[in-house]
Structure 1
Amino acid sequence: MQALTTLEKGIQRSAREFAVGEFERELLSHMRKEQVWPDGLFRQAAELGLIGVNLPESLDGGGLGMAARAVVLETFAAIDSTAAFALASGTFGAEVISRFASEALQTRVLPGLALGVARCSLALYEAPVQSLPLILSATAERVEGGWLLSGEKRRVWGGINANWFLVGCVSESEPVILFCVDASYDGISVAPEPCRMGLEMVKTATVHLNRVMVPDDACLGDDATLKCLWSGHWIDVAALALGVGRGAMDRALAYVRKRSQFGKPIGAFRITRQKVARLSGKLELARLATRRAAELFDLGKADEAASALARISATKAAVAVSDEAIQLLGGYGYMTEYDVERSLRDAKTLELLGGERSLLEEILADRELGKRRR
């Protein structure tokens, strides 16, 4: 496990300077209320190299990896978790395209993502609730010159304005095949879904596929590709959750340092200090798990169990820290101006991304006990 490199520390400083300077409170509040995706911020961050930091340098990316991306996402989320998730969501799954797509497809897709002029969305789920393993009815039919895709995908984050979809389908020969699909292809229609709690800037959508013809090189692969996608996605979610927790902690610390009771700051009382110590420990352990998963991913050893552990520990820590931050602020914790109530809402939403916790825990159980006999 390595500490942040000099380059990563520089990226961390750049991400923080950008977030502090550009995440305008009133503007972001309006965007959350109206469910407006921060297109301007996405482009600005991309121009600074903060969006495509993990994509190939030859295709306008930063040429680094998931460890560097995790640093950026955590830093953004500590300043504003909702905006950070929105910026991250525009390139969910891009690392899989850079690893498994043909050179021609990478050239069509990745520069636009890295430069902030295009977006990619995960179109995987078909049930109202995200679950693992995927239960799919969307089909991929092999035809001359490519594939015909048919079916319906739900809970597609950012699907309304996506330029590319990563679509999971079943075929006669494979339980799951992953495709990178141009959103402008004939036969694709997108419908917005109802509002929900948390991460309000990014709308979810239902994507309908009506015999969508895609070329051969749209096929990225089967089970191995999907496992890599999950591993990278869980690292993204873990990094965002760490930022949510860190932001809630910072706001709580600022409050307990200045709020006085019985003639001294409440941060001086043992019970408060013990709470802070426990919460800090939860975040640090989750950060170590996330760092390890990202390092394995960058070594080409994407480990589902390591990424699942990072996602579980980070989201649990974010929920616990955000909940306790509300308690530390007392009545102020429920006021929107103090932001910790939003940290809890965003943390709870992140806890559901990429599958429910109990299902991810099965991956850890498989590692220790072997796969369960059905």
Structure 2
Amino acid sequence: MTSTRAEDPVDVLAPPPPALLPPWHTPEREQLQEQARRFAMEEVLPVADELDPQKGEIPASLLTRLAELGWFGITVPAENGGLGLGVFEYCMVSEELARAWMSTASILARSQGLGTAVADADRRHELLSRSARGEWIGAIALSEPDAGSDLASVSTRAVLDGDEWVVTGRKRWCGNAKAADFIQVLVRERDPEPGESRSNGLVNLLLEKKRGEFPEGLTGYPIDKVGYHGFLTWDLTFDGVRIPRENVIDEADAAKEEGAAAERAGFAEAQKFLNTARVHTAARAVGLARAALEDSILYLQEREQFGHPIGDFQALRFAVAGMAAQIEQSRAFYRQVAHLIDLGVRCEKEASMVKLEATEMSVRVTNQAMQLHGGNGYTTERQVERHWRDARLTTIFEGTSEIQKRIISDRLLPRSPLS
């Protein structure tokens, strides 16, 4: 596969003059972004070029490097060994990693304190420290064959049997399940009462496991995907899987330990996770689009027709201009929403908006990049087909574009009682 050479990168992200810097810019963030960009181009991209065509998994050596850099704990508090930074930095690093291989940006989401909100404070602090060190990397089991966008319809059942939950059901689209240290499973502990929301009775359970193994009662098979290689995505069957009673993931109870007032709700916790995940997906989509743009700029200077580099032709130059403008717009938007999340502002609508706009943009830009590459774009000899394959998924996971439109419209235009 022809690679964008790390020593000759196309810098479409040259910083603006100081007077034009956004209010969230800091020298520390600029330094972190530059570090992430070098790492992505010099260490991640060569691995992606080798393994993605083989549908290979992220090697342990690359996970070790991510851990050494501290990026599994970007959002983990410093007192627990993390970097103590925010969603902004998490998304900024993820954009750079996705520019090389989206899976490396995605594996970060399987840490960042995920699977640590247990009731026991000492246990929680221990898991946070492991998360920051890259020793507590998980998987999320939310979706089911009949419950994807409609998580309130989750039917996987958890029944208490003494000091253990017994889990039975099926989960689908669980990335990294077998390679994980734990799986966070959304289950139904009771049916809703008449008049209650269908989301009532849901709870998140923490299934601890060994990397590379499934515990007794859990089986599955990897789903053969078009793209998004780097780790396997699983269809899982829970047949009496036993989980300790105390292994309830409860962000609200954990918050109470810190003096905050909240109520436990498995569905609400899943939604909170999805808000950050949607901004993270927007950042990954920007990284993919930027990869397609940078590769296209190189190709337009390399490819000659009619005695000229095809980058001399106005139609193609205008296409590049449009691609760059769309990328810059989506980047500014995801950074704004990440900034709001870090300030503690409720922004479900904005998270859906940026996820919708950035992912649809990424599909348009990567599709345009394939067109600019002509026949070469429709081969596996160029990276652009990988960017296009991965970008297409971003409009589907973490809630489809249609679900984002529903979330946005429901907050802008309340439904009538009869609808």
Query: What's the TM-score once normalised by structure 1's chain length?
Result: 0.89
User: Of 215, 221, 234, which aligns to 1:205?
Assistant: 234
Q: Is the 8 A contact 1:322 1:340 kept in 2?
A: yes
User: Of 27, 41, 62, which aligns to 2:62?
Assistant: 41
Structure 1 residue 50: Cα displacement? 2.1
Residue 167, structure 1, aligned to residue 185, structure 2: yes
Structure 1 stretch displaced more, 298-307 or 150-159: 298-307
Q: Is the 8 A contact 1:130 1:356 kept in 2?
A: no
Instruction: Report the structure, 1 or 2, having the larger helix content.
Output: 1
Matches within 5 A, 1:149-160: 149-160=167-178
Matches within 5 A, 1:45-56: 45-56=66-77
Partner of residue 356, structure 1? 400
Structure 2 segments unaligned to the other structure (5+ residues): 1-21, 193-199, 251-263
Structure 1 residue 292: Cα displacement? 2.0
User: Of 332, 352, 355, which aligns to 2:376?
Assistant: 332
Change (3 A) 1:364 1:102: farther
Matches within 5 A, 1:215-230: 215-216=245-246, 218-220=248-250, 221-222=264-265, 223-230=267-274
1:168-193 CA-to-partner distances (Å, cap 9, x unmatched) read: 11232624222333236965514222
Aligned length: 371
User: Of 324, 339, 360, which aligns to 1:280?
Assistant: 324
Partner of residue 69, structure 1? 90
Partner of residue 257, structure 1? 301
User: Of 327, 335, 352, which aligns to 1:308?
Assistant: 352
1:265-323 CA-to-partner distances (Å, cap 9, x unmatched) read: 33233212221222122212211221122112212234221111121111111111111
Change (3 A) 1:78 1:339: same
User: RMSD between aligned alpha carbons?
Assistant: 2.6
CA distance, structure 1, for counterparts of residue 162 and residue 27 of structure 2: 51
Change (3 A) 1:168 1:129: closer
CA distance, structure 2, for counterparts of residue 117 and residue 13 of structure 1: 26
Partner of residue 180, structure 1? 206
Change (3 A) 1:23 1:139: same
Change (3 A) 1:22 1:141: same
Structure 1 residue 370: Cα displacement? 1.8
Q: Which amino acid aligns with 1:17?
A: R
Partner of residue 142, structure 2? 124
CA distance, structure 2, for counterparts of residue 121 and residue 211 of structure 1: 16
Change (3 A) 1:273 1:35: same
CA distance, structure 2, for counterparts of residue 81 and residue 217 of structure 1: 31
CA distance, structure 2, for counterparts of residue 283 and residue 24 of structure 1: 20
CA distance, structure 1, for counterparts of residue 339 and residue 184 of structure 2: 24
Which of the two has higher C-alpha Rg? 2
Structure 1 residue 217: Cα displacement? 5.1
CA distance, structure 2, for counterparts of residue 127 and residue 295 of structure 1: 35
CA distance, structure 2, for counterparts of residue 72 and residue 216 of structure 1: 34
Partner of residue 291, structure 1? 335
Q: Is the 8 A contact 1:366 1:372 kept in 2?
A: no
Query: What's the TM-score once normalised by structure 2's chain length?
Result: 0.80
SS of the residue corresponding to residue 150 of structure 1 reads strand
Residue 270, structure 1, aligned to residue 291, structure 2: no
Change (3 A) 1:101 1:268: farther
Q: Which amino acid aligns with 1:238?
A: A
CA distance, structure 2, for counterparts of residue 147 and residue 178 of structure 1: 11
Q: % of aligned pairs identical?
A: 25
Structure 1 segments unaligned to the other structure (5+ residues): none
